[in-house]
Amino acid sequence: MTDSPSQGHSRRKFLKGAALAGAGAATAGMARANDPAISVQPWMQELGDGVDAAPYGSPSPFEADVKRRNVEWLTADPVSSVNFTPLHDLDGIITPNGLCFERHHGGVAQVDPAEHRLMINGLVDRPLVFTMEDLKRFPRENHVYFLECAANSGMEWRGAQLNGCQFTHGMIHNVMYTGVPLRLILQEAGIKTSGKWILPEGADASGMTRSIPMEKALDDCLVALKMNGEALRPEQGYPVRLVVPGWEGNMWVKWLRRIEVGDQPWHHREETSKYTDLLADGQARRFTWEMDAKSVITNPSPQAPLTHGPGPTVLTGVAWSGRGTIPRVDVSIDGGKSWAEARMDGPSFDKSMHRFYYDFNWDGRPLLLQSRAHDSTGYVQPTKDQLREIRGVNSIYHNNGIQTWAVDEKGNAENVEVS
Ligand code: MTE
Ligand code: CO
């Protein structure tokens, strides 16, 4: 406690020092010699809130605009809809829990963990029912993974439509999960040799189910209890969800209540009429589970215009791949005519979001911004036209084409396409 006043004192000293430095140094147009706001402000003249003001903290009221948003015409009914992560307001690679996009087919189940159970049945030696406390007695692991809905960017198949990376790319979040390897839970029940597939089922009103091959179940799937260190949020499947790294979000069953082991896929609704990719010839691709490498520039973008004039400019964005890491992202400021390698920064985890920066001197002329991800398998993110050539425009899912933002002289950005 005794060090608080002296901390305040040294902060004021630092601010004074900073003002002096600003007055003397050449700052390449990034700051002013004099700014009246550097003088003593009201918040320096009164005591702040005590430690009892916010037992569970929340962001500054000045950040109130940083929030999930939905698209009205996509939201016939909020219990079967989606909202989007504000990618343009975030940095680094971790999505804060309160900003993770939500996709529900039957609303958010309010589950009492004491009454909730996880059942393993079907082709197993010992059908078992676990309490949440039972699950905590298995060895657990921590991993950062992205979850991308297969429908992310789905509204852009026929052309540029939504103005903002929150809406074009915001059906994704990137979180550190704490969970039990699914392998350990399945082994506890004992998988019969005929057991080749699993069917996870949710406890929400939609009773979400998906068929997942046993190979993936035994590889890296997690039965997750925590996200970013704390309990899962109700929106994300509290108290327990399935994590299926690198694979489409629909398979990450929330409010997980049962896993059936079977000898073949079940062909349920979400893997037949939905989450299949209708091609131009009327045939549908099925079981397209892996999310292809993709990237998007988050700043500048339509919701985050450039607010300064020409000069030093920080461009940034995110990239990810369901097949590994992202060793490289290229950036173009002229609509794909020329490319420069972006600077990757922050941790690089398998099947996780990566952060890239491109620090350049804006000459004040209009820009056509694009980013192109390379993943650790050598795969390169395609253009939207290349995708359409092979896949047509009938599909909703798995659109990982290169995004273009047009930035005008004033710094305002718009969703466009170049060919
Ligand atoms: N699990 C259940 N039980 N119910 C659901 O509606 N939606 C799926 C998947 N798991 C869903 C579910 C879809 S389509 C996606 S994209 C992800 O959860 C969304 O996860 P999120 O809400 O954490 O973003
Ligand atoms: Co989805």
Q: What is the pLDDT of residues 224-268, one digit of tens each?
A: 999 999 999 999 999 999 999 999 999 999 999 999 999 999 999
Q: What is the CA radius of gyration of the chain?
A: 24
Which residues span the domain enclosing 316? 294-416
Which residue in the block uniquely carries the two structure tokens 């790319």? 169
Distance 104 CA to ligand 1 centre (A): 6
Between the CA of 187 and the centroid of ligand 2 the distance, in Å, is 29
CATH number for the domain that contains residue 342: 2.60.40.650
> Quick one: 251 and 389 in the same domain?
no
Q: Nearest residue CA, atom 9 of ligand 1?
A: 250
Q: Percent of the chain beyond pLDDT 90?
A: 89
So what's the pLDDT on residue 77? 86
Is residue 57 one of the residues assigned to a domain?
no
pLDDT tier at 80, thresholds 50, 70, 90: confident
Q: What is the pLDDT of residue 74?
A: 84
Cβ neighbours of residue 221 closer than 8 Å, sequence gap 6 or more: 181, 182, 183, 212, 242, 243, 244, 245
Whether residue 93 is contained in a domain is answered as yes
Q: Determine which residue's CA is closest to atom 23 belonging to ligand 1.
A: 236
* Residues 352-380, mean pLDDT to the nearest whole number: 98
Tell me, using a 6 A CB cutoff, whether residue 250 lines ligand 1. Answer: yes
Whether residue 11 lies inside any domain: the answer is no
The residue whose C-alpha atom lies closest to atom 10 belonging to ligand 1 is 253
Gap from CA of 251 to ligand 1 centroid (Å): 8
Report the separation in Å between the CA atom of 165 and the middle of ligand 2, taken as the mean of its atom positions: 17
Q: Is 32 a domain residue?
A: no
Tell me how far the alpha carbon of residue 154 is from its chain's centroid: 16
Say which ligand is closest to the CA of 396: 2
- Find, among 257, 264, 260, the residue nearest to 242 by Cα: 257
End-to-end CA distance of the chain: 62
pLDDT at 28: 64
Structure token pair of residue 176: 């550190």
Answer yes or no: is pLDDT of 375 > 70: yes
| Residue 126: how many other CB atoms lie within 10 Å | 9
CATH number at residue 87: 3.90.420.10
CA 282–ligand 1 middle distance (angstroms): 27
Do 254 and 313 belong together in one domain?
Answer: no
Q: Which amino acid is at 366?
A: P
The strand order across the sheet containing 340-341 reads 340-341, 328-332, 367-374, 404-407, 413-416
Confidence of residue 73 (pLDDT cuts 50, 70, 90): confident
- 185 and 78 in a single domain? The answer is yes
Cβ(255) – ligand 1 distance below 6 Å: yes
Indicate whether 108 pLDDT > 80. Answer: yes
74 CA → ligand 2 middle, Å = 13
Average pLDDT of the chain to the nearest whole number: 93
> Does some domain include residue 201?
yes
Q: Give 103 Cα–ligand 2 centroid separation in angstroms.
A: 6
Degrees (nearest 5) of the Cα angle 119, 123, 124?
Answer: 60
Ligand 1 contacts CB of residue 100 (under 6 A): yes
Closest by Cα among 394, 397, 395, 401 to 418? 401
The model's confidence at residue 23, banded by pLDDT at 50, 70 and 90, is very low
Q: How confident is the model at residue 37 (pLDDT cuts 50, 70, 90)?
A: very high
Give the pLDDT band of residue 389 (cuts 50, 70, 90).
very high
Q: Is 143 in the pocket of ligand 1 (CB under 6 A)?
A: no
The answer to whether residue 50 sits within a structural domain is no
pLDDT digits (tens, 9 = 90+) for 209-218: 999 999 999 9
Residue 92 within a domain = yes
Q: Is the pLDDT of residue 13 over 90?
A: no
Minimum-distance ligand 1 atom for the alpha carbon of 100: 24
Q: Which of 6-10, 74-78, 135-139 has the lowest mean pLDDT?
A: 6-10
In this structure, the answer to whether residues 216 and 318 fall within a common structural domain is no
Task: Provide the pLDDT for residue 419.
Answer: 80
Give the number of the atom of ligand 1 that is nearest the alpha carbon of residue 202: 3
- Among 285, 303, 319, which residue terminates a domain? 285
Per-range mean pLDDT, top range of 239-243, 269-273, 391-395: 239-243
- Would you say residue 91 has pLDDT above 60? yes
In a shared domain, residues 299 and 155 = no
With beta carbons less than 8 A apart as the criterion, state whether 373 and 295 touch. Answer: yes
Q: Is 224 in the pocket of ligand 1 (CB under 6 A)?
A: no
Distance 47 CA to ligand 2 centre (A): 47
pLDDT at position 15 = 38
- Of all residues in the chain, what percent carry a pLDDT higher than 70? 93
Render 244-293 in DSSP notation, one character per residue: -TTB-GGGS-SSEEEEEEESS----GGGTTSS-EE-TTS-EE----BPPP
pLDDT, average across residues 40-69: 96
Tokens 């170049």, residue? 418
Q: Does pLDDT of 21 surpass 60?
A: no
Helix/strand/coil for 393: coil
Question: Which residues 6+ apart lie within 8 Å of 328 measured at CB?
Answer: 341, 342, 344, 373, 374
Closest atom of ligand 1 to 101 CA is 24
Specify whether the backbone of 282 is left (phi greater than 0), alpha (psi in -120 to 50) or beta.
left
* The total number of structural domains that make up the chain: 2
Distance 82 CA to ligand 2 centre (A): 8
Tokens matching residue 329: 């992202």
Query: Residues 95, 164: one domain?
Result: yes
Ligand 1 atom 22 nearest Cα = 102
Say if residue 369 is in the same domain as residue 254.
no
pLDDT of 79: 85
Same domain, 234 and 354: no
Is position 51 within any domain?
no
Among residues 360, 362, 361, 331, which one has the least CA distance to residue 344? 331
Residue 153 shares a structural domain with residue 232:
yes
Atom of ligand 1 minimally distant from the CA of 255: 3
- Domain boundary among the residues 240, 259, 285 is at 285
Per-residue pLDDT tens digits for 315-360: 999 999 999 999 999 999 999 999 999 999 999 999 999 999 999 9
Q: What b/e readout covers 20-35, taking b as 16+ CB neighbours within 10 angstroms?
A: eebeeeeeeeeeeeee
Token pair listed for 26: 């050449």
Q: Do 298 and 275 reside in the same domain of the chain?
A: no
Provide the pLDDT confidence category of residue 275 given band limits of 50, 70 and 90.
very high
Beta bridge partners of 332: 370
For residue 12, pLDDT over 60 is answered with no
Say how many Å lie between the CA of residue 174 and the centre of ligand 1. Answer: 14
> What's the pLDDT score for residue 4?
37
Instruction: Say if residue 114 is in the same domain as residue 97.
Output: yes
Listed in sequence order, the residues at least 6 apart from 403 whose beta carbon sits closer than 8 Å to its beta carbon are 153, 156, 165, 168, 169, 295, 296, 297, 370, 371, 415
Instruction: Check pocket membership of 149 for ligand 1, CB cut-off 6 A.
Output: yes
Q: Are residues 334 and 267 in the same domain?
A: no
Of 285, 315, 338, which one is at a domain's C-terminal end? 285
204 within ligand 1 shell (Cβ under 6 A): yes
Pocket-testing residue among 103, 116, 227, 228, ligand 1, by greatest number of atoms within 8 A of Cβ: 103
d(CA 171, CA 243): 16
Residue 10, pLDDT > 70, answer no
The atom number, within ligand 1, closest to the CA of 249 reads: 16
Q: Is 103 in the pocket of ligand 1 (CB under 6 A)?
A: yes
